[in-house]
Amino acid sequence: MSTPNGDAGRSDALVLFGATGDLAYKKIFPALYAMVKRGDLAAPVIGVARSMWDLERFQVRVRDSIAQDGGGIDDEHALGRLISLLGYVSIDYSDPATLAALRGALGDATRPAYYLAIPPSVFETVIAGLGGAGLADAARVIVEKPFGRDLASAKELNRFARSVFSEDSIFRIDHYLAKEEIMNLLYFRFANSFLEPIWNRNYVASFQITLAEDFGVEGRGAFYETAGCLRDVIENHLFQVVALLAMEPPTYRDFGALHSEKTDVFKAMKPLAADDLVRGQFVGYQNEPGVAKDSDVETFCALRLHIDSWRWAGVPWYLRSGKRLPKTVTEILVELKPPPQKLFEDSWPPDSPANYLRFRLAPDASIALAARVKRAGEEFLGDQRELLLLDTQPNKESPYERLLSDAMAGNGALFTREDTVEAAWAVVERVLATHHRSQPYKPGTWGPKQADKLIAPNGRWHNLAPADAASKQPTQ
């Protein structure tokens, strides 16, 4: 798969809006440090925020971030190089006149990349300010998710961004796409010939995709009130996973073809209706700071969707995600149909799935194939065992390292295209406004019981991750 280098050349400065925020502290500064260590960053890095800081305070913030959230300082020389690249400008986002200070800080840079690690409510204000100040020429803009909060707002934000920047200069970040484990899904699907003959409605019974977290909203109640689980996790992260699993092979080796195939998956998804969705809220959420006492926002969401394509017609896809669940784990389970004839008495076990493929994405990556094996003895009885492939890769790039480097190089392979964003929002558009009320669930459980009823026609959720005891028969 080829990766374009970009016609405009590499960005010669990185401007980080929201430089004093949590995202910059926890993710971006450690990524920049790793890029410097790798020799992948030598351009100026200009922090921009409303906070009335000076450069020295900003430099201390960056050092603290790397020491606390970046795994520690193990290369003082590299840290010194990063510190030397830093600049800082205090700007009032609503006052275009203050952008003149940014122009001065850019110095000789003519191809900056602007990273908007700021609330979505000020995206348009900042983009308009950059355009009005003449700072968008030959520049790129990197926009953090969420890109809109529904179809209408996504279209408006796309229209507005395109009025200032060209489409190939807009980089819409979903950091999930840059995870090594997610990229491996694409590779595993199309690099192995044994999979393609069975990867269709004739052999696959259902898909289950789970992204579970054992923690709550972690002081981000005010943000979660504006998002909820459907918007925050499923419409973007899990939909992207579905697209990689469901897409057709790209017709040529280019990421433009990959984007087109993914978009076709979203266009083939049947729009969700209220009965396709179960929303839950963990008991105690309404006591979180910033949360309304009568809040109906979901902290858990399970849904059933169908992809109306030749390959997947009739195959249900079950997605779920939630907070305060029993464990933090992300897994995909692809359940295969049972053998066409019941030759052995136990070949269709009533209380466990038929053969399956299991992709563990987090916390530890693995791929497993479950198959039945005969027990010793004269009787034809067996057990289902897993053939497990571990895929632990030390020293791999973090998602933000990869995304920042790619955006500055003009490589849009791991970013989301305009039509893809809008096609995904169209699938959930109806249920964002029309849905059943959130059902309470106790922290430490797998969500409300209604989620079990949702999947009941095709079995049940597989709540225990077999990789926790890889040498044993998996518990289902």
Compute CA 2 distance to the chain's CA centroid, rounded to the nearest angstrom.
22
Q: Which residue has the tokens 């006149």?
A: 97
| Residue 437 DSSP class | P
29-37 vs 399-409: helix crossing angle, rounded to 10: 70
CA distance 173 to 270: 25
Q: Are 216 and 285 in contact (CB under 8 A)?
A: yes
Secondary structure of residue 20 in the 3-state scheme:
coil
Q: Are 15 and 49 in contact (CB under 8 A)?
A: no
Q: Which helix (DSSP H) or strand (DSSP E) does residue 302 occupy?
A: strand 300-306
CA distance 448 to 373: 35
Compute CA 225 distance to the chain's CA centroid, rounded to the nearest angstrom.
20
Tokens of 439: 């059902």
User: What is the side-by-side strand order in the sheet with 439-441?
Assistant: 382-390, 366-374, 356-362, 329-336, 204-212, 316-322, 300-306, 277-282, 439-441
* CA–CA–CA angle 420, 424, 429 (5° rounding): 140
**Beta-strand pair 204-212/112-116:** unpaired
Q: Which helix (DSSP H) or strand (DSSP E) does residue 259 occupy?
A: helix 255-268
Catalytic, out of 175, 237, 259, 462: 237
436 is catalytic: no
Q: Which residue has the tokens 């300082």?
A: 73
CA distance 414 to 401: 12
Q: Are 443 and 286 in contact (CB under 8 A)?
A: no
123-132 vs 151-164: helix crossing angle, rounded to 10: 10
Contacts of 279 (CB under 8 A, 6+ apart): 229, 230, 298, 300, 301, 435, 436, 437, 438, 439
**Residue positions counted in the chain:** 476
Contacts of 306 (CB under 8 A, 6+ apart): 269, 270, 312, 313, 314, 315, 316, 317
Compute CA 463 distance to the chain's CA centroid, rounded to the nearest angstrom.
21
Active-site amino acid positions:
237
